[in-house]
Amino acid sequence: MRASRLLSILMLLQTRGRMTAPALAAEAEVSIRTIYRDIDQLSAAGVPVYAERGRDGGFALLDGWRTRLTGLTAPEAQALFLAGLPGPATELGLGDVMQAAQLKLLAALPAEWQADVRRVSSRFHLDPAGWFNAPTPVNHLPAIAEAVWTDRRIRVRYESWKDVRDREVEPLGLVLKAGNWYLAALSEGKLRTFRLSSIQKLTVLETGFKRPPDFNLAQYWVQSAQRFEAGIYRDSAVLRVSPQGLKHLQRMPPAIAEAATRTAEAPDAQGWVRVVIPIESVEYAAHDLLRLRAEAEVLAPPALRERLADTAQRLAALYAAPSPVAKTSPPRRATAARSRART
């Protein structure tokens, strides 16, 4: 325990510079008396740590002295290499930088850990894009990332579902979600989320901005995502679904899956159950529920039931007549048989 604390104090002094005894005690969660004993122990071990008295005093390391110790445990080092996603880093323009950082970290690790850390990238790969979806290419990502890092305003031409508008925004952070990049930014005094693939034009301005001191990107994203998912479903639908249909519903977005499970009533004689799910609109719900085929029946609202019934009737009429291709092309099996006969 003490060795770990000594290493933590050493890392704090190396990364933060001069620190007072109370500040070190707060970080290590020990008493100030314990910190004085630990400093003496470091000094006895040959670490050039010295104390400066006065108002701006504290403990510090000798200028220019660095330790190659990282303070990492073996699992921590492996986690860092696993977290270095090559895809997102390359998209941000940091692929080479990430590789260089990993090489430096690797060189600083004990020899017995290096082989284990090298195996991480060869045995684990993280793919943030969903199935049947490729990451959306984003031409402006490196420039936006630089603006986020340097606190510089940007002007964008943005295409939303309503219209195309020119906006001047203060970029606060970037988020990668299911293969798509999003920008959290202040626009007209309000926090907004912009999908980078919808940015048609970008200009990085020379003017800077002051970041809100209380802004937390991770917290904002969680709350924003929850508001979006809660707000997008404005109505509900009552369905009667088969056991297979219920399984299909439980593979849909979380709000639908949770509602289907929570509202499922006792099965009838055929094993079908009645459920209530949230829907965005009749149009979108009809599109999504067609994937359930004949494993679900819409009971309400009437407009959704009528939309699906109309679609089913049009599909039935479309497939009632024989296919024109079938009339002119021989069946594959017969064609294959004649081909074998010729050979």
Cis check for the bond before 301: say yes or no (omega within 30 of 0): yes
Chosen domain end from 171, 202, 230:
230
**Residue 88, in any domain of the structure:** yes
Contacts with 34 (C-beta within 8 Å, 6 or more apart), sequence order? 25, 28
Question: Is residue 39 domain-shared with residue 119, that is, in the same domain?
Answer: no
237 in Cβ contact with 277 (< 8 Å): yes
The CATH code of the domain that includes 38 is 1.10.10.10
In terms of domains, do 211 and 245 share one? no
CATH code of residue 206: 2.30.30.30
Q: Is residue 134 part of a domain?
A: no
Under the banding of pLDDT at 50, 70 and 90, the label for residue 341 is very low
Whichever domain contains 313, its CATH number is 3.30.70
Residue 313 domain flag: yes
DSSP, res 160? -
Question: What SS3 class is residue 269?
Answer: coil
Predicted pLDDT at 2: 65
| DSSP H helical ranges for 21-171 | 21-28, 32-44, 74-83, 86-91, 95-108, 111-123, 141-150
Residue 201, in any domain of the structure? yes
Is residue 170 located within the same domain as residue 225?
Answer: yes
pTM over 0.85: no
* Confidence band, pLDDT 50/70/90 cuts, at residue 336: very low
In DSSP notation, 200-256 reads EEEEEEEEE-PPPTT--HHHHHHHHHHHHHHHH--EEEEEEE-HHHHHHHTTS-HHH
Choose the final residue of a domain: 230, 255, 287.
230
For the segment 224-232, the average pLDDT, to the nearest whole number, is 80
Least confident interval from 105-119, 171-185, 271-285: 105-119
Residues 226 and 241 in one domain: no
Least confidently predicted of 73-87, 154-168, 182-196: 73-87
Highest mean pLDDT among 1-10, 225-234, 256-265: 256-265
What pLDDT is attached to residue 208? 95
Which range has the worst mean pLDDT, 39-53, 65-79, 142-156, 199-213?
A: 65-79
- The mean per-residue pLDDT over the stretch 204-211 comes to 94
Residues 225, 245 within the same domain: no
Is position 168 within any domain? yes
Specify whether 104 is located in the same domain as 27.
Answer: no
Q: Do residues 149 and 209 share a domain?
A: yes
Same domain, 157 and 220: yes
From 187, 212, 230, the end of a domain falls on 230
Look at residue 87 and tell me if it is in a domain: yes
173 domain-assigned: yes
Tell me how far CA of residue 156 lies from CA of 93, 141, 217, 231, 296, in angstroms: 20, 12, 21, 26, 44
114's CB contacts (< 8 A; 6+ apart) are 106
pLDDT of residue 66: 64
Work out the pLDDT band at 80, boundaries 50, 70, 90.
Answer: low
Mean pLDDT of the residues in the chain: 81
Based on the domain organization, do 106 and 40 belong to the same domain? no
Assign 121 to helix, strand or coil.
Answer: helix
Asked if 92 and 151 sit in the same domain, the reply is no
**108/159 same-domain check:** no
Asked if the structure places residue 97 within a domain, the reply is yes
User: What domain count does the chain have?
Assistant: 4
Domain span including residue 176 = 141-230
Question: Are 257 and 179 found together in one domain?
Answer: no
